[in-house]
Amino acid sequence: MKPKKRVEQAYRLARERYAALGVDTEKALKTLSQLRVSLHCWQGDDVRGFEGGADAPGGGLAVTGAYPGRARTPDELRADAEKAFSLIPGRHRFNLHAIYGEFGGRKVERNEIELRHFRGWIDWARQLGIGLDFNPTCFAHPLAADGFTLSHPDRSIRRYWIEHCQRCREIGAAMGRALGTPTVTNVWIPDGMKDLPADRRGPRERLLEALDEVFRKPLSPRHNLDAVEGKLFGIGAESYTVGMHEFYLGYAVSRGKLLCLDAGHYHPTESLADKISSVLCYVPGILLHVSRGVRWDSDHVVIVNDDLLAIAQELVRGRYLDRTHLGLDFFDASINRVAAWVIGARSLLRALLFALLEPWPQYQALERAGDYTGRLALMEEAKHLPWGAVWDYYCAQQGVPVGEAWLEEVRAYENQVLRQRQ
């Protein structure tokens, strides 16, 4: 039997098995096809950007490994991203940091960046029919070297970063307007201290005031959506993080912003999945940065594990997909960078499909009836349903390689393109 026929036959059997439990696989696949995952530019070049000069990202970030083929130019990064998109089912998005503008070899201060520096990215996204997301870059800069940006005690330095973030919002809105889909512009800063601070209050009050300045100008949500992102700690900021989760939760609630939840930005014993229904009682939506921390915020490539499945299940069972913006956030230079994108995106989509295929309305009905025995039993049985056959069918339907066949294309791209880069 030909591979395509085997995939279709396996899907028919799986569809029948799911139908017996009241699950419509076609409906699940339609929902999955409408979801957009934003691939992060910084996986393709190890968070270096195109300003020139610095090899290390700074700001508490660290990228390990020296796998050959790092993108060195915008064209190379776009080519790599296109290859990744071609191996991921569905139509998705691309997420840019401000240091990834096309500056023509000239030094441009970050508080002077303009839309023209990102025209090439907009044209590329339009050709692919995808949306763009955007981020101010408040690290890897002399004015961030002491560990403070928007909360800096020096008013002039604080003003510099405020102006940078203001310009990024304007650029994000222009991207959204040009592409017909709103850009999520996410503000994250690395501000904090390595050792115990004597004043925790001052930097947070300065950050609050600075953020209000950043967001002072109203922008249409049809073009730009503002998000703020907290963190537990960073390298060199182990003892005190100005913008911790509680700070930004309060800010997002009081200012009506999206709250960014990053899977690596919490204590290892905390469940990000459990936070989703809590914060969405109060904020209009969330930006979800899907990462995989190993012992700390180490930004490993996303895989299908219990943490990822729990996040996907919470989004589906809570009916939060329409209030969630999905994005990847990791950087691994120890493996093929294109493969890292593909593994991460396919894993997230697989986990979402698993959650969409669960008979979760039955779980909730059993729970409401107080039948916790039946709830647990059905949850366990559902883990062994043939969801892999549905995933294979979806990939074939979307015109991307089924199973591990995508790796052959990445290997060929590595030999023909990546290894030619010096």
Catalytic choice (51, 133, 191, 329): 329
pLDDT exceeds 80 at position 1: no
Q: Is residue 247 part of a domain?
A: yes
Q: Beta-strand (E) ranges in 149-208?
A: 183-187, 192-193
Region for residue 308 given its phi and psi (left: phi exceeds 0; alpha: psi -120 to 50; beta: otherwise): alpha
Verify that 155 and 59 share a domain, yes or no. yes
| Three-class secondary structure assignment of 369-405 | CCCHHHHHHHHHHHCCCCHHHHHHHHHHHHCCCCCCH
Catalytic choice (80, 191, 297, 392): 297
pLDDT exceeds 70 at position 88: yes
Verify that 182 and 316 share a domain, yes or no. yes
> Has 383 been annotated as catalytic?
no
Verify that 269 and 167 share a domain, yes or no. yes
Verify that 41 and 82 share a domain, yes or no. yes
Task: Extract the tokens encoding 63.
Answer: 């990228």
pLDDT at 53: 62
Domain stop point among 308, 342, 357: 357
Residues 119, 104 contacting (CB under 8 angstroms): no
Containing H/E element for 133? strand 131-135
Q: Give the pLDDT confidence of 277-331 residue by residue, as tens digits.
A: 999 999 999 999 999 999 988 899 999 999 999 999 999 999 999 999 999 999 9
- Which stretches of 222-305 are DSSP H helices? 245-255, 272-279
pLDDT exceeds 90 at position 62: no
Q: Is residue 18 part of a domain?
A: no
Catalytic choice (42, 124, 161, 188): 188
- Integer Cα distance of 203 and 93 in angstroms: 34
Catalytic choice (229, 314, 358, 392): 229
Catalytic choice (133, 299, 307, 414): 299
> Has 199 been annotated as catalytic?
no
Q: Is residue 27 part of a domain?
A: no
pLDDT exceeds 70 at position 159: yes
Verify that 294 and 156 share a domain, yes or no. yes
Domain stop point among 357, 375, 403: 357
Verify that 321 and 422 share a domain, yes or no. no
Q: Is residue 348 part of a domain?
A: yes
> Has 274 been annotated as catalytic?
no
> Has 297 been annotated as catalytic?
yes
pLDDT at 282: 98
Verify that 340 and 364 share a domain, yes or no. no
Catalytic choice (245, 265, 275, 325): 265
Q: Is residue 24 part of a domain?
A: no
Domain that holds residue 7: 1-13+360-422
> Has 296 been annotated as catalytic?
no
Verify that 329 and 387 share a domain, yes or no. no
Domain stop point among 337, 357, 377: 357
Verify that 379 and 396 share a domain, yes or no. yes
Looking at the structure of the chain, the number of domains it has is 2
> Has 262 been annotated as catalytic?
yes
Catalytic choice (80, 262, 307, 332): 262
Verify that 276 and 409 share a domain, yes or no. no
The residue behind tokens 């115990």 is 196
- Average pLDDT for 139-164: 97
Helix axes 201-214, 155-179, angle to 10 degrees: 40
pLDDT at 207: 98
> Has 97 been annotated as catalytic?
no
- Average pLDDT for 125-140: 98
The CATH number of the domain where 121 resides is what?
3.20.20.150
Burial environment of residue 107 by CB neighbours within 10 A (0 to 12, 13 to 18, 19 or more):
exposed
Catalytic choice (40, 231, 257, 325): 231
Verify that 105 and 125 share a domain, yes or no. yes
pLDDT exceeds 60 at position 56: no
Would the pTM count as exceeding 0.85? yes
